[in-house]
Amino acid sequence: MEKQRDPKQAGQNQAGQNQADLNRTLALQKGEAPFRVHAQISRAGNDIQIYIGGGSAPHIGSVAVSQPRASLDGSGAISCTTSVHNLLGHKDDRLAVLFAEAFCREYACVAVAAAGFHMDRAHPSDVERVLTYAEELLEKALRQWGALSDQ
C-alpha cells in the first residue's frame, strides 16, 4: 500500500495550495500626487483581499464584499453579488466595488475590498481623475495578479 504524503510536508496546505501562493502580495500605484491611487492585494486562503487608498489621508471609508455566482442571464458567465458598507460620511464605495467585483469575476472567488481616498474640497473633475487612475490601476492589477498565478 502506498503511503499518503502529508501536504504540509510538500509546502502545501490541506486544500493542496502552495504556501507561497497563499502569501502572495502585490502593491501598485498609479498617478501623481495628490491624485495618486495605490492598491495592495493579497491572498486570504482561496479568496482575495484588496486595499485601495490615496490622497492626503488614506483610510478605510468603505468595504465591499463580492461573492461569485452564475450570471442571472443564463450565459454561464461568472457574475457576483456584492454587499457594501460605508462608514458615516464616506463615499469610497465606488473604489471598493470597482475592485471587489472585478477580482471576484476574474478569479471566481470571494473578493473583499476596503477603500479610502481623501482629498479636501475635491472638485468633480478631481474625483473623475482619481477614478480614471483607479480604473487604470485595476487593469494593471488584474494583469499582474494573473501573471503571479501563472508562476
**2 located within any domain:** no
d(CA 106, CA 119): 30
**14 located within any domain:** no
**19 located within any domain:** no
- The model carries a pTM of 0.84
- Structural domain containing residue 140: 27-149
Domain count, the chain: 1
pLDDT for residue 24? 83
**83 located within any domain:** yes
**113 located within any domain:** yes
What are φ and ψ of residue 26, in 5° steps? Answer: -130, 130
**91 located within any domain:** yes
* Half-sphere exposure in the Cβ direction for 80 (13 Å, CA): 24
d(CA 43, CA 129): 29
Integer CA distances (angstroms), 50 to 12, 106, 138, 145, in order: 23, 14, 11, 12
**13 located within any domain:** no
Q: What share of the chain is helix, strand, coil (3-state, %, to 5)?
A: 30, 35, 35
* Nearest of 71, 148, 72, 83 to residue 108 by alpha carbon: 71
Residue 83 sits in a domain of what CATH number? Answer: 3.30.230.100
Tens-digit pLDDT string for the chain (151 aa) = 333 333 333 334 444 455 555 568 999 999 999 999 999 999 999 999 999 999 999 999 999 999 999 998 989 899 999 999 999 999 999 999 999 999 999 999 999 999 999 999 999 999 999 999 999 999 999 999 988 876 5
Give 127's contacts (C-beta < 8 A, 6+ positions apart).
none
d(CA 67, CA 105): 9
**7 located within any domain:** no
